[in-house]
Structure 1
Amino acid sequence: MPDSIFFPRGDGLALGDLAKMVGAALVSGADPERKVSGLAPLTEAGAEDLSFFDNSRYADDLAATAAACVIVELKNLRLVPAQTGALVTSDVQSAFAAAGQALFPRAVAPTAASGQTGLSPRANVHPTARIEDGVTVEAFAVIGPHVAIGCDTLVGAGAVIGAGCRIGRASRIGPGSCVTHALIGNRVILHPGVRVGQDGFGYAAGPKGLMKSVQIGRVIIQDDVEIGANTAVDRGAIRDTVIGEGTKIDNQVQIGHNVIIGRHCAIVAQVAISGSATIGDGVMIGGQTAINGHLTIGDGAQIAAVSSVAGDVPAGARWGGTPAKPVREWFREITLLSELAKKRRSPRKNDE
């Protein structure tokens, strides 16, 4: 359950105000002045907590909940106990996310581990760096020559910002991160241990072995991108690696050199994207998927987890498997293999 040491409750919000913030309708009869100050699952919620219900398997939990209010779809309103308020919406998850941001704004983006603001005297900031007002640079961070950092940005403890990098406003660079050869936009979040701008993996095979290919491109990360802990984004070889605005990348993802990722994509943990692949806008890629280099995944495509994508994927397609193919075709193959396996296990007539 949420721990007040890490995310203390505030004064709370009245249900009427919260309904307006999240775009939901407060059910008739609920007290619009009643306040909620916390978030909790149905089974643990108390008299000042907000919860949600969007799966029928938890109907018993909903019937017994002590939550002050529950976010539900209209079709499930009849299941809400009489003593519990309800916020009705067509998109429960989005409404609950918005409510969480309103109740716990400090949990939206990383904060300074030290709790301090401004430039730590134990940070190493080069005299040619341009630091706007309101920037926090924590202890043992290194800011290289000719770096520019916009106002309200946080550079966490032990982070390294290499020479010439640009970081926009209200961004968060997590502890222990390393950023080189990169231009980073506004409101970008890099979680701890992210690596941006290191060499891509490029070698030319010859009679004397592997000769290193120089990587002289950049990484460009547009506004509102979030990148999870220990993810690596290689700089381009002779063009740029680009991550489009609003894209969200999970922990431990590998993004190779020259990769182009569009806007508002979702890339789950342990995905590997090989060099020079192009990912369109709004693409969703499931965890532990491998994407070959020099291919294109079209806008709005969805790739199932643990897939291997070896060729171009059309816009709007849903693919999965190894090698990845259209989901319906993949499911037919799985069904056929299952049926063949069952037949092979069945007793032979001679054994009967």
Structure 2
Amino acid sequence: MSRTLFELGEALDARLQGDGNIRVERVSSLAHGSSSTLAFMVSRAHLSELHRTQAGAVVLGEEWAAECPVPALVVRNPHAAFARAVAMLHPERKPAPGVHASAVVAPDAQIGAGVSIGPHSVVADGCRIGANAVIGPGCVLMSGATVGAGTHLVAQVFVGSDCRLGERCRIHPGVVIGADGFGLAKENGRWIKVPQVGRVIIGDEVDIGANTTVDRGAIEDTVLGDGVKLDNQIQVAHNVRIGEHSAIAGCVGIAGSAVIGRGCTIGGGVGIAGHLKLADGVHVTGMSLVASDLEQAGAYSSSLPAQPMRQWQKNAARLRHLDEMARKLKQLEAEVARLGASAGQSE
């Protein structure tokens, strides 16, 4: 869908620099633009690409406007403005409302106006689906599940019994919401399954990436607040609570009953132990292990970066002797203190 630069500028509340009649049809990077594309810039690292760009126009901040050789939309937040421009130039194609002939929908399910239910989907008894929601191909909604208005289950999404999804969520293929949590009790050397009777409650405008699992609560509910964004292949265990507008990158594992505050960011591959609390505004860098409460906002890191193997082997060998070295250091400190005291007395 093509737009003039003037139309985009009005929609994005941008200052127009250059010819507003230029028409763009799609987005591109600075390096691979053409006369019909819109690119964006957020960092000095791309300044040389900006100087050479062949894009028809660029979204950028005021600090780079004088450097831009093509028409520009000058905004306070180029990344956010570009995201809105992408949505305008590449509008989502939604399926037509209606229930596909191969779908199975319980007679007592409540289906709102404009809902689309795709091929081979199953909507069980007592389910409620809000207006204009999309239930893509192969999705399964178990008894009593609720999907809010405008929410889009892309394909092959499982929603467990009595779980609730808010409005305008986007749930990608392979997501499992409301599987049983890992609840086990041990008796006479054997494991006994603890029934998981909680639910999953998901707020509005939540995005969940492909193949992510959000387990139902053991007794209380697992809760994701409004605006939470989860990447692909994340494990959210039972009774976890994630505060509003937190974002979590791929392959993170969150153990049971952990509480993550509002506005947190968790980098890829992070492990968060169970029953911990992360304060609002905590930022954990990738591949870190969180093994204790993080009680104040700020950035936290752990683990060691990759290094040459021989150097790592030497460090690992020394690590095995760390306890012995610590004991010797204590002894030396005590000896230095004793000698210092003796010297002071002799004076």
Q: Do the structures match in fold with TM over 0.5? A: yes
Counterpart of 2:15 in structure 1 is 25
Question: Is 1:276 the equivalent of 2:257?
Answer: yes
Counterpart in the other structure of 1:120: 100
Using the TM superposition, give the Cα deviation of residue 34 of structure 1 relative to its aligned residue in structure 2, in angstroms: 2.2
Given candidates 213, 218, 228, the residue that maps to 2:194 is 213
Instruction: Find the aligned partners of 2:189 and 2:46 in 1 and give their Cα distance.
Output: 64
CA apart distance, 1:54: 2.3
- Following superposition, the deviation at residue 130 of structure 1 comes to 1.0
Q: In the alignment, does 2:124 pair up with 1:140?
A: no
Runs of 4+ with deviation above 4 angstroms: none
Match of 1:98 among 70, 84, 87: 84
Q: Is the 8 A contact 1:72 1:88 kept in 2?
A: yes
Alignment partner of 1:261 out of 225, 237, 242:
242
Name the structure 2 match of 1:76: 64
Is 2:45 the counterpart of 1:57?
yes
Residue 231 of structure 1: how far off its partner (Å):
0.3
Whole-angstrom distance in 1 between the partners of 2:202 and 2:271: 22
User: Which amino acid in 2 is paired with 1:274?
Assistant: A
Residue in 2 that maps onto 1:152: 132
2:262 is paired with a residue of what secondary structure? Answer: coil
Shift of 1:86: 1.3
Give the Å deviation of 1:143: 0.5
5 Å-filtered alignment, 1:318-337, equals 318-322=299-303
Match of residue 241, structure 1, among 198, 219, 222 = 222
Which residue does the alignment assign to 2:151? 171
The RMSD of aligned alpha carbons is 1.9
Work out the CA distance in 2 between the residues paired with 1:48 and 1:16: 14
CA positional deviation for 1:256: 0.3
The percentage of aligned residue pairs carrying the same residue is 36
Which residue number in structure 2 is paired with residue 7 of structure 1? none
Q: What is the rounded CA distance, in whole Å, between the counterparts of 1:185 and 1:241 in structure 2?
A: 14
> Are 1:305 and 2:286 counterparts?
yes
Structure 1: gaps spanning 5 or more residues: 1-9, 323-329, 332-336, 345-352
CA distance in 2, matches of 1:37, 1:236: 46
Report the equivalent of 1:229. 210
Q: CA deviation at 1:315?
A: 3.4
The aligned amino acid for 1:157 is P
Using the alignment, how far apart are the partners of 2:33 and 2:86 within structure 1?
14
Residue 205 of structure 1 aligns to a residue in which SS?
strand
Per-residue CA deviations over 1:92-134 (Å, capped at 9, x if unaligned) read: 2111111111222217xxx44xxx5310111011111111121
Per-residue deviation, 1:55? 2.7
- Compute the displacement of 1:56 (Å): 2.7
C-alpha displacement at 1:24, in angstroms?
Answer: 2.0
1:42 to 26, 30, 36: 30
Question: In 2, are the aligned partners of 1:174 and 1:193 still within 8 Å (CA)?
Answer: no
What secondary structure sits across from 1:134 in the alignment?
coil
**1:218: Cα distance to partner?**
0.4
The number of equivalent residue pairs is 309
**What is the one-letter code of the residue matched to 1:15?**
L
- Structure 2, unaligned stretches of length 5 or more? 306-310, 319-347
Query: Distance in 2 between the 1:149 and 1:52 partners?
Result: 38
Cα distance, 1:71 vs structure 2: 1.4
Q: Report deviation, 1:145.
A: 0.6
Hey, what's the Cα distance between the residues in 1 that align with 2:102 and 2:200? 28
Q: Which has the larger radius of gyration?
A: 2
| Separation of aligned partners in 1, 2:143 and 2:90 | 35
